[in-house]
Amino acid sequence: MSRINEIIVKYDSSPSCLIPVLQEIQKEFNYLPEEALDAVSEKLGVPLNQVFSVATFYNAFSLDPKGKFVIQVCMGTACHVRNAPKIVSELERLIGINKGETSADNLFTLETVNCLGACALGPVMTINGKYFGHLEVNKIETILREYQ
Ligand code: FES
């Protein structure tokens, strides 16, 4: 809680800083813990339902704990037709989880998204924001090894 309080104080407990405060908490913990939302609501003087609305509206925020490395695989049309589903299957097989899940060791979270804005590089995935394009199923294991 002390780290959360430090972040809130850094922004002068200003209600207008709700989004930057939540962004910094998200960055620090990789998700928004429930007690953080309570503290933000109380200290910024923003109703809890409003804090929740913002926290659930933006994709950048998560209310669930995530792994150290968040993998996002694009399933948009341009990537889908270039084998993105097989990329997801390979990641599920190698990590031992299904999409939407986090590995038991909290190392990886696997997500699918609709477009990563790099359609020409499809199929594309990101790991903590780093792009990997022109993916092939047989390259996935080597990429994952860099993070294990
Ligand atoms: S459809 Fe995959 S990056 Fe746009």
Ordered DSSP codes for 94-144: HHT--TT-B-TTSSEEEEEES--S-GGG-S-EEETTEEE-S--GGGHHHHH
The closest of 8, 87, 89 to 42, measured between CA atoms, is 8
Q: What are phi and psi of 126, to 5 degrees?
A: -125, 150
Overall CATH class of domain 69-145: alpha beta
51 C-beta closer than 6 A to ligand 1: no
Q: What is the pLDDT of residues 21-57, one digit of tens each?
A: 999 999 888 899 999 999 999 999 999 999 999 999 9
Structure tokens at 28: 């620090």
Shortest-distance atom of ligand 1 to CA 122: 2
Q: Mind listing the pLDDT tens digit for each residue in 75-125?
A: 999 999 999 999 999 999 999 999 999 999 999 999 999 999 999 999 999
Q: Is 110 in the pocket of ligand 1 (CB under 6 A)?
A: no
What are the distances in angstroms from CA 16 to CA 52, 69, 108? 15, 30, 33
Domain range summary for the chain, segments of one domain joined by +: 2-57, 69-145
